[in-house]
Chain A
Amino acid sequence: MTLDTCAPNETYTIQSIGGSPSQRYHLHHLGFLEGTKVRCVFTAPCGDPIAFEVQGSVFALRKEQLRNITVCKEDL
């Protein structure tokens, strides 16, 4: 599944990141890498963008960007 369809308060593990190279490297440097866990924490009033907790920080990404991030759900 891709991250734009995430459910609030759920944790996911990133499997792959698509998009242009500069976008991917920027995400890497923010902490979004294959194997990293991200948690969906809250969304904007109209549902876009969505805020994720990753490695202790919170970043907001737009849904069109999240469609490039493939994840699998964490089974706790």
Chain B
Amino acid sequence: MNTPSCKTVFLAGNPNVGKSTIFNALTGLHQHTGNWTGKTVSGATGTFKHQNQTVTITDTPGAYSLTPYSPEEEVTRDTLAFGEKDLVVLVGDSTAPVRGISFLLQVMELCPHIILCMNLNDQAEKQGIQLDYPALSSALGIPVIPTSAKNKKSFGKIKDTIAQSPATNPIALTYPQPIEQELLYLTQQIDHQNTSSVPSRFLSIKLLEQDTRFIQQCQQKGILNLKTIDLENSFRMLEMQGYSKEKLAKIFTAKRQEFALQLCNKTVTQTKPPKRYLADKALTNRFGSTVIFALLLFLVFWITIYAAQYPSTLLQTALFSLEQPLTNVLTSCKLPHFLVAMLTQGVYRVVAFVVSVMLPPMAIFFPLFTLLEDFGLLPRIAFNLDHRFAKCKACGKQALTMCMGFGCNATGVMGCRIIHSPRERLIAIITNSLVPCNGRFPTIITLLTLFCSLGTMGSNSLWVALELTGIILLTVAVTLGVSYGLSKFQLKGNSSFYALELPSFRIPKIGQVLVRSVLDRTVFVLGRSVAVAAPAGLVIWCLANVSFGEFPMFTQISNTLNPIGHIFGLDGTILLAFLLGLPANEIILPIMIMIYTTGSTLTETSMVGIHQILTANGWELETALCVLFLMLFHSPCSTTLITVYKETKSKWHTFLAFLIPSCIGLTGCLAIQLIL
């Protein structure tokens, strides 16, 4: 018998069971992982080779059932129902086997070629939960593999099982006799017209369950033709035997859960007493919780600021001392003078600034944030803040997407797919840019260090961290305020229902997470600085040195922008930097510095040097505060705006996402001027 040399496999399972971790381990790709439900919101595909086979594996968003409640669950359902596949690997959580097996039973009815992978085995052992894998396997009729991220060999077992094309003989769950009878009739009727890979029995169940959306989709795809199926008759027959439509809608789920529960009673043993949730109780404590989280935030910021100083100083000295030698080399290559200046004073200067001042804090903050995420703190933050979001008639999951915004606003916007209600999703999307993303932190830290701190460099970091913590709390308050405003005036409505899952805390592999994250971030920022900062530097240098008429274009632009800038306590350069920095927030300050120093050789580039450059160009405390405020509240970057449009498909809402932060920023600048 020939084994096919190419296979297509789908990964499916409840949220937060480790699908993406397994996906990453098998394909070598880097899907976003972390200990909270809702990270994967779209499918991703990768490949791996094993035993002379090429396997294409697709990761799907977590779903609690094949009847989707929010958009990302719909992606999973559609992928499983309509995607071409050879095998489905269903990933379950060993610490919550009943739910995983319930979902397995549902997916089994759709995809009979399926294997079960019970993940987080190490967590289950810690909690004293033991699964009898052979018994599970024989009861379910499919291979069951125990896996855990701590045990690399277990992932190898998945590859082996996939490659071996396992014979699967999944049990067919039987429902009460009257229902089985109607299912048989319906299946026969559907069989006549069903040429798709969706099993007819699955379609019959969906018809009786009244999953209207899925049925509509099947009709559109030509898989089902309701006109040729006597569905009403089936409902009538079942009604007569005590199964109302109401009851039918939930009996299938109930039976699956009942079976799953009975199976787990036979095959799962719990040797430790029930969990006491001490850590959770501490983090959600009435009196201490706010303090604990504020303290954690402060600690993360302090470590970022303190640790970033050293690589930053080193890089600054190294890179900027290279500017003159670089100029010399390029000149000796007989390149025209303007080209040399363009490359050194334009491109090199901006990129060097991004790498030395912007990169270190970004490369440190992001990994720390990832650690907190992997540990499982985000759902607790969402849990604690839910009441405030409820008061704003927003969804508590907005706290999760808001936290994502601290990493990257575009990711935060996409993450809003985990919110079920369209109205609440819009609120979360529009307000996401009100929290500063990773790219804005270095500028905020630099400005605080230069203008709002006391004492010498060492003691600065504590004070700056404190101020930064306060600033972040301010942005959270503004998010809540704007959400409230949107709920009241633009997007009126009531809070929708949702359940937030609070997964167990997991100790991440700290070393591995840090190293991987630092490398990933560094590569990402470097890539973006080449793609975005370099061209921006080029453009500005041209503006500053190319003249149409008497003055360089830049002077003309500056003269136009300066008066506008002064109204808001800024100047033309700052405004231009914000405008040109639309593609990426981390290039705004570098562009400013570049413009201020055009024409001169950059020698002094330490923090002190930057301070000198800024004050020499008219900066005062007031200017710094205005720039700081504008940094927090200004238009989202272009990637975020594009993502907002893609997610909302609405020009108006994208415009709101642009307008609201910009207005808040500019109003704040006016207010600062009035106060100071």
* A→B interface (CB under 8 Å): 19-31, 33-34, 36, 39, 41-46, 48-49, 51, 53, 55-62, 64-65
Partner of B390, one of A28, A29, A55, A62: A62
Partner of A51, one of B99, B383, B387, B396: B383
Q: Within B497-514, which residues are at the interface with A (CB < 8 Å)?
A: 497, 499-503
How far, in whole Å, are A42 and B379 apart by their CA atoms in the complex?
Answer: 14
B255 to chain A, nearest CB (A): 10
Partner of B69, one of A26, A45, A51, A60: A26
Pairwise interchain contact A56-B98, C-beta atoms closer than 8 A: yes
A36 to chain B, nearest CB (A): 8
Binding site secondary structure of chain B: mixed
B257 to chain A, nearest CB (A): 6
The 7 closest A-B pairs by CB, nearest first: A56-B96, A29-B65, A55-B98, A58-B502, A60-B500, A57-B96, A29-B64
Pairwise interchain contact A28-B254, C-beta atoms closer than 8 A: yes
Chain A: CB-nearest residue to B283: A42
Chain A: CB-nearest residue to B286: A45
Binding site secondary structure of chain A: mixed
How far, in whole Å, are A58 and B274 apart by their CA atoms in the complex?
Answer: 13
Chain B: CB-nearest residue to A22: B69
B226 to chain A, nearest CB (A): 20
A11 to chain B, nearest CB (A): 9
How far, in whole Å, are A45 and B282 apart by their CA atoms in the complex?
Answer: 10
How far, in whole Å, are A10 and B290 apart by their CA atoms in the complex?
Answer: 26
What's the count of A-B pairs with C-beta under 8 Å?
121
* Interface band, chain B: 35 or more
Q: Across the interface, which residues of B come within 8 angstroms of A58, CB to CB?
A: 277, 280, 501-503
Chain B: CB-nearest residue to A39: B274
Q: List 29 A-B contacts (CB under 8 A).
A: A25-B65, A26-B64, A28-B250, A28-B257, A29-B67, A29-B102, A29-B253, A36-B257, A42-B277, A43-B284, A44-B384, A44-B386, A45-B284, A45-B285, A45-B290, A48-B386, A48-B390, A49-B387, A51-B383, A55-B261, A56-B98, A57-B93, A57-B96, A58-B501, A59-B500, A59-B502, A60-B383, A60-B500, A65-B499
How far, in whole Å, are A27 and B253 apart by their CA atoms in the complex?
Answer: 11
Chain A: CB-nearest residue to B261: A55
* B→A interface (CB under 8 Å): 64-65, 67, 69, 93, 95-99, 102, 129, 249-250, 253-254, 257, 261, 274-275, 277, 280-281, 284-287, 289-290, 383-384, 386-387, 390, 396, 495, 497, 499-503
Chain A: CB-nearest residue to B211: A25
Chain A: CB-nearest residue to B69: A26
Pairwise interchain contact A55-B96, C-beta atoms closer than 8 A: yes
Q: Across the interface, which residues of A come within 8 angstroms of B284, CB to CB?
A: 42-45, 51
Q: Across the interface, which residues of B come within 8 angstroms of A30, CB to CB?
A: 64, 99, 499, 501
When A25-B249, A41-B277 are in contact, do A61 and B499 touch as well, CB less than 8 Å? yes
A58 to chain B, nearest CB (A): 4
Pairwise interchain contact A45-B96, C-beta atoms closer than 8 A: no
When A25-B250, A42-B281 are in contact, do A31 and B257 touch as well, CB less than 8 Å? yes
When A29-B253, A33-B253 are in contact, do A51 and B95 touch as well, CB less than 8 Å? no
How far, in whole Å, are A39 and B275 apart by their CA atoms in the complex?
Answer: 11
Pairwise interchain contact B99-A59, C-beta atoms closer than 8 A: no
Q: Across the interface, which residues of A come within 8 angstroms of B250, CB to CB?
A: 24-25, 28, 33
Partner of B99, one of A45, A49, A55: A55
Additional 7 contacts, C-beta under 8 A, given A29-B253, A45-B384, A59-B501: A26-B499, A44-B284, A45-B289, A48-B390, A51-B280, A56-B99, A60-B501
Chain B: CB-nearest residue to A61: B499
Partner of B257, one of A33, A49, A57: A33
How far, in whole Å, are A58 and B504 apart by their CA atoms in the complex?
Answer: 8
Q: Across the interface, which residues of A come within 8 angstroms of B67, CB to CB?
A: 25, 29
Q: Across the interface, which residues of B come within 8 angstroms of A45, CB to CB?
A: 284-287, 289-290, 384, 387
How far, in whole Å, are A31 and B253 apart by their CA atoms in the complex?
Answer: 9
When A21-B249, A43-B284, A53-B275 are in contact, do A48 and B387 touch as well, CB less than 8 Å? yes
Pairwise interchain contact B99-A44, C-beta atoms closer than 8 A: no
B130 to chain A, nearest CB (A): 13
Chain B: CB-nearest residue to A62: B390
B624 to chain A, nearest CB (A): 36
Pairwise interchain contact A60-B386, C-beta atoms closer than 8 A: yes
Q: Across the interface, which residues of B come within 8 angstroms of A25, CB to CB?
A: 65, 67, 249-250, 253
Chain B: CB-nearest residue to A27: B499
Q: Across the interface, which residues of A come within 8 angstroms of B287, CB to CB?
A: 45
When A29-B64, A33-B254, A49-B396 are in contact, do A44 and B387 touch as well, CB less than 8 Å? yes
How far, in whole Å, are A10 and B502 apart by their CA atoms in the complex?
Answer: 18
A20 to chain B, nearest CB (A): 8
Q: Across the interface, which residues of B come within 8 angstroms of A23, CB to CB?
A: 497
Chain A: CB-nearest residue to B290: A45
How far, in whole Å, are A64 and B387 apart by their CA atoms in the complex?
Answer: 12
Chain B: CB-nearest residue to A32: B499
Q: Across the interface, which residues of A come within 8 angstroms of B249, CB to CB?
A: 21, 25
Pairwise interchain contact B98-A49, C-beta atoms closer than 8 A: no
Q: Across the interface, which residues of A come within 8 angstroms of B383, CB to CB?
A: 44, 49, 51, 60
